[in-house]
Structure 1
């Protein structure tokens, strides 16, 4: 079997959609005895060049990250504009949204997944433009969304 372009098959992140990130972050801190992480707000299209279903999008979200060894837990509270985050929250409520893989070549990985009937839903640059994320329409095939994370060389 040839190597699949999903970063060595190591899941690096699990993302969860939440209604109230401040409340949920506090629950995680209390339960796991960890420090409060910063809550970040993604930036709009003029910085991130976000596209949703192929069209430019100004959707944003609040994010918080917890590092637990190999896997990072990402909490996501979407704004009310159309996005993969808002769609998922509206359709599924608070739940697991995605599993993420670090990839070396997003384009190659997108082509590989397209060969399996999985297309792109949303894509954009990190707010600091040091990399890009791509959410793949894998729920019908896998029951969960895949996220591709590509970090650009410095």
Structure 2
């Protein structure tokens, strides 16, 4: 049996692209019988250090996080700047975008996935950590997001 590339098998999040986060967040809240989640906006490029396909991008998105027990649902409404979110929404419409894993050793994991033909699409920083979207669609039929939280 092959080694586990990421060091975990636990999916921690499913990301869903939406065109209207306010409406979709309320729909999820009603569906789950919870309060509507708070909607936040990602940091500006000077803070987030966002790179898309190897170049800096001012892309931002509205996000809402829903605790669904063992899994987090992330709703994402991107702006119109170049990003994996915008590209995917324009090509495929609303719906699932990625599954996420919390990992340790971001640079090492990115290099391991790239060596398997799964290139980095987008990366950035958030308060308390960093993320990387890997193009695993050809192999896994979904994008994988790596999340590394500061210790």
Partner of residue 142, structure 1? 140
**Structure-1-length-normalised TM-score:** 0.94
Partner of residue 10, structure 1? 10
Which consecutive unaligned segments of at least 5 residues does structure 1 have? none
Regions of 4+ moved over 3 Å: none
**In 2: Cα distance, 1:6 partner to 1:99 partner:** 13
**In 2: Cα distance, 1:152 partner to 1:92 partner:** 33
Q: Secondary structure at the match of 1:110?
A: helix
**Aligned residue pair count:** 151
**Structure-2-length-normalised TM-score:** 0.96
CA RMSD of aligned residues (A): 1.1
Give yes or no for contact 1:131–1:150 (8 Å, CA) kept in 2: yes
1:3-82 equivalent positions in 2, closer than 5 A = 3-82=3-82
**In 1: Cα distance, 2:144 partner to 2:26 partner:** 26
| Residue 115 (structure 1) shift | 2.2
Residue-by-residue CA offset, 1:72-130 (whole Å, 9 max, x unaligned)? 0000000001100000100000010000000011111112211210010000001x2x1
Q: Secondary structure at the match of 1:9?
A: coil
Bigger mean CA deviation after superposition, 107-116 or 86-95: 107-116
Q: Secondary structure at the match of 1:66?
A: strand
